[in-house]
Amino acid sequence: MYNWELPDWPEFKYNLAAVEAELYDFAEETGEVSGLLKTLPEYVQQEALSQTMSRAVVLSLSKAIEANKSSYYAALKAAQQSNEITEWIVYFAKLTLAAQREAKGVVNFSLQKVLFFDRYKAQLTERQLKAIRKMLDAGIEGFKGGMTAKKYMNITSASKATATRDLQTLTDAGVLISQGEGRSSRYILNLAYPTI
């Protein structure tokens, strides 16, 4: 038996129109929320998002909460002060959508990473692969500050001349994209592939 099935479970009030209004822009953008909108009244009663969606949900709510803890605690505090939970639903729906966007970004990055290695792995030396893997390990956020000759030297133990030559070779091959010139040259991965 779920908590909401207990006879003394409070009847929560919510304004479905307000929640739908908050989700409208995202639904227009992706077309992926229509199922969520249809199940929202059930979602209000249920404790687990995955039960509401009738399928496993691959996203990290905790990461989305961690990104803005003060908003989470403010929304939670406001929801605990009465049985009117519209603001909590709106907050939680936005949080869930943010987590969904993050999960989609991770999936896209993983896909781009696989396609990247499929395309370039045979062309790369072990030294170049070591540097590329280090850049990819930074994840969606990207390699902070881009790759520089100095960073390449530190990662691969190559000389300055070898690092500069390797970076130029990788740029010429389309593996990296050069930004800036001279000492301020930075390189980012060329992950220009289709996304979902």
pLDDT in tens, 34-87: 444 444 443 333 334 454 445 555 567 777 888 888 888 888 888 888 878 788
**Which structural domain, as residue segments, surrounds residue 7?**
3-106
Give the count of domains, the chain. Answer: 2
Residues in the chain: 196
Q: Is residue 169 situated within a structural domain?
A: yes
At 47 the pLDDT is 36
Q: 44, 140, 24: which is closest to 87 by C-alpha?
A: 44
Percent helix, percent strand, percent coil in the chain, to nearest 5? 65, 5, 30
Assess whether 92 and 21 both reside in one domain. yes
At 18 the pLDDT is 62
Q: Which residue has the higher pLDDT, 118 or 169?
A: 169
Residue 180 in tokens = 């800036």
* Boundary residue ending a domain (38, 73, 106): 106
| Average pLDDT across the chain, whole number | 76
How far apart are the C-alpha atoms of 167 and 148, rounded to whole Å?
8
Residue 121 has pLDDT above 60, yes or no: yes
How far apart are the C-alpha atoms of 67 and 51, rounded to whole Å?
25
* Boundary residue ending a domain (50, 73, 106): 106
Assess whether 22 and 93 both reside in one domain. yes
pLDDT tens profile 23-49: 555 444 444 444 444 444 433 333 344
At 31 the pLDDT is 47
Confidence band (pLDDT; 50, 70, 90) for 14? low
Contacts for 1 with CB less than 8 Å, ≥ 6 apart? none
Assess whether 144 and 73 both reside in one domain. no
Confidence band (pLDDT; 50, 70, 90) for 143? confident
